[in-house]
Amino acid sequence: MDELNGRMMACQILITGLIARVANEQKDPLRFLTDFRDEIKAVVNGVNIAGENTDRVRQVAQRTVDELFSLMKPPSAD
């Protein structure tokens, strides 16, 4: 289980870096990130989740999206 958690964390870090890179190339990076986050949340809300505890799985996915985007800070004013 620790190996799986480590791999998931590595994927989250990789995805965060890729999103930040794309955002930095946009005219308005904060708007891009906000729009992208909203799209990802809409996907999480609409995706079909099979099995038991689907509400719990969806809540965890939503929290993960929030954590992923909370890692990104707005660009500095410098």
Q: Where are the alpha helices (DSSP H) in 1-78?
A: 2-24, 29-46, 54-70
- Of 75 and 44, the structure prediction assigns the larger pLDDT to 44
Domain boundaries, the chain: 2-70
pLDDT in tens, 34-69: 888 888 888 888 888 888 888 888 888 888 888 887
Q: Considering the entire predicted model, what is its pTM?
A: 0.66
Q: What is the pLDDT of residue 28?
A: 87
Q: What is the pLDDT of residue 76?
A: 56
33 closest CA partner among 69, 77, 5: 69
Mean per-residue pLDDT for 69-76? 66
